[in-house]
Amino acid sequence: MRLRIDLVAKFIKAVRPDVLCLQETKCPDDKFPLKRFHRLGYEHIAMNGQKGYHGVVVISRLPFESVTRQEFCAKNDCRHVSVVLGERAGVRNPISLHNFYVPAGGDIPDPSINPKFAHKLAFLDEMRESAALRGGASDRMVLVGDLNVAPLEHDVWSHKQMLKVVSHTPIECEKLAAVQRAGHWIDAMRMLVPEPAKLFTWWSYRAADWKAADRGRRLDHVWTSPALADRISAIAIAKTYRGVPRPSDHVPVTATIEL
């Protein structure tokens, strides 16, 4: 958060989103650069941060009705924050917005020898069971974040070569799909850009030339409830942000919702 604050400010000035959701902020709440965002016109900030690891935040021009932080896997970590946008934001029918940072899962895709992968799978199971992530037919809900899973064949540069690589193994892809089914979530990015188009939001730092190799993955997601799905008019992946000095390995995803 603090290292790339200027890059975030640049993105905000270019796009002027109503709401910006960040993950892996690695910033304790008492060190969060609130003033910088206030000066940019973003007065409403829902933080769930800790030192060094994880951390999520919702930065908004619009006020919230409420803020919720959900605990997963009984760990004292910061991987979820949600807000409700309603009357105070000029939104007639309230919208719940969930912002997630799903565990990366380590290197070895075997939960019996890699506790990080076991944690990732357990986290996805808990998301599937979460009552807060299951709306009624008319509920207006959005779920975004770094879900650390590229579930579809064309969400990775090579389906075949990625099958045993954490982020694209069948077990985690199936568990993410189960979260989606249980909550009746619609994958808004794929609704607008269906397969077989390649869609990536992340490129490893471990490449001599990330752009030339283009070995990306779609780890970042925008899901909506059925009641909002036909209101998504655009999805943009700001790939140019991968090419700036000291980039993040993730790039911004923007969803336009017609309310």
Answer for the pair 147, 222: CB distance below 8 angstroms, yes or no.
no
Least distance (Å) between residue 229 CB and DNA? 29
Q: 136 or 205: whose CB is closer to DNA?
A: 205
Q: 7 or 62: whose CB is closer to DNA?
A: 7
Least distance (Å) between residue 95 CB and DNA? 28
Q: Nearest to residue 177, comparing CAs of 203, 153, 200, 196?
A: 153
Q: 52 or 136: whose CB is closer to DNA?
A: 52
Least distance (Å) between residue 116 CB and DNA? 5
Q: What type of residue sits at position 73?
A: C
Answer for the pair 254, 216: CB distance below 8 angstroms, yes or no.
no
Least distance (Å) between residue 155 CB and DNA? 17
Least distance (Å) between residue 63 CB and DNA? 31
Q: 35 or 246: whose CB is closer to DNA?
A: 246
Q: Using CB under 7 A as the criterion, which residues of the chain lie in contact with DNA when the complex forms?
A: 2-3, 24, 26, 51-54, 103-104, 106, 116, 205-206, 246
What is the DSSP-derived secondary structure letter of residue 170? H
Task: Give the angle subtended at the CA of 38 by the CAs of 81 and 241, to the nearest 5°.
Answer: 70
Enumerate long-range contacts of 230-237, CB under 8 Å, 24 or more apart. Answer: 231/257, 231/258, 231/259, 232/188, 232/191, 232/192, 232/256, 232/257, 232/258, 233/257, 233/258, 234/192, 235/188, 235/189, 235/192, 235/193, 237/199, 237/200, 237/201
| Cα distance between residue 195 and residue 154, in whole Å | 6
Q: 16 or 51: whose CB is closer to DNA?
A: 51
Q: 160 or 206: whose CB is closer to DNA?
A: 206
Q: What type of residue sits at position 205?
A: Y
Task: Give the angle subtended at the CA of 180 by the CAs of 176 and 183, to the nearest 5°.
Answer: 135
Least distance (Å) between residue 101 CB and DNA? 9
Q: 37 or 123: whose CB is closer to DNA?
A: 123
Least distance (Å) between residue 60 CB and DNA? 25
